[in-house]
Amino acid sequence: MKLNVRWSCLLCLVLIGIAIEGVQCKVVQFIFGDSLSDVGNNMYLSKSLAQANLPFYGIDFGNGLPNGRFTNGRTVADIIGDSTGLPRPPAFLDPSLTEDVILESGVNYASGGGGILNETGGYFIQRFSLWKQIELFRGTTELITNKLGKQATDKFIGEANFVVALGSNDFINNYLMPVYSDSWKYNDQTFVRYLMETLQNQLLLDFRGFFPKVLHNLGARKLMVFGLGPMGCIPLQRVLSTTGQCQERANKLAMSFNKAASQLLANLDSRLPNASFKFGDAYDVVDNVIRNPNNYGFDNADSPCCSFGRIRPALTCLPASTLCSDRSKYVFWDEYHPSDSANQLIANELIKKFGFLAGGNSSAPVPAPESAIAPSPDEE
């Protein structure tokens, strides 16, 4: 009888081990970001003014209906995940999200209008800041722990890929707008420093111990932070300038952010045992595409494919908007966001920067990449 009990106990331990290993083998993504990564969260924020819930958003994705992505097709995170064989995580607010879905696909917390700072994007009324997204992730870990137990959950979270892709709204929809107090409380240098201090507190417990519920403490061990592109060259910034050219101050702020974030992540990576915290940006490539679009297969790099005729800026794409004749030839989809074709190029560069493919950081992007989307019929 004692022998049978021992064998029964041993069998139980083996089965538990197999269950934990099964969870460990499934690698998913947890994505934190803004409208460049949002896959539908803002569609469920009924008071949010940052929306991609009307045609022609999503026209080149799935059934062609709006799905919450602020572009005509895929996001950069979509493309990177597809290229690395990871499932696309659903929006946190998707009603179909369950514990089983999380274990299979992860979660996307990104929200249009969100920023590193809580005050960013306030005039959008509803949006998830990075602090809020981390709070939602904490709830996710508690949900999974209730289902799997702490040991299995720690393994699952520890094997997951974390993507943090925010920052542009902190400039465009905060610091560079005089209606926000940050615009007069800081100068360019001190505002970037303020962003880095906040970002460090969000990624890692700071030396004072004030922030125990941040990503590293919640189990994140494989984390990537995406840098900013030349945000002074988005169509909205051009049309608001007096010359129609890129706003160089905004571009310099993006470069300052990237330099500071790169140093921050390198420092964190060196301090954290058994963790990989990496930074990558595609600033130089996107800047070159904007200045030499024909070299990369684009015809237009200064205006949106989806626009409201001659009325500029049209802050969103609407059913009454006019579409360009070939969406694959435009760098920008609307006044703010890149097109699917541009996102493909950005993703390719980040894949190299993060070392997902052979060639690492040394390989230059190939001009005129083949578009994943066939040219659209003339809809003008």
Q: Just list the catalytic residues.
A: 35, 334, 337
Distance CA 160, CA 175 (A): 33
Q: Which amino acid is at 160?
A: A
**Count helices and strands in the chain by DSSP H and E runs:** 12, 9
What is the rounded (10 degree) CA torsion for 349, 245, 333, 295? -50
Distance CA 317, CA 73 (A): 14
Dihedral pair phi/psi, residue 33, rounded to 5°? -175, -165
What is the rounded (10 degree) CA torsion for 346, 349, 353, 358? 140
Which pairing describes strands 222-226 and 276-280: parallel, antiparallel, or unpaired?
parallel
- The answer to whether 80 and 165 have CB atoms below 8 angstroms apart is no
Distance CA 286, CA 171 (A): 18
Distance CA 289, CA 65 (A): 29
Distance CA 41, CA 233 (A): 27
Distance CA 191, CA 349 (A): 28
Q: Which amino acid is at 111?
A: S
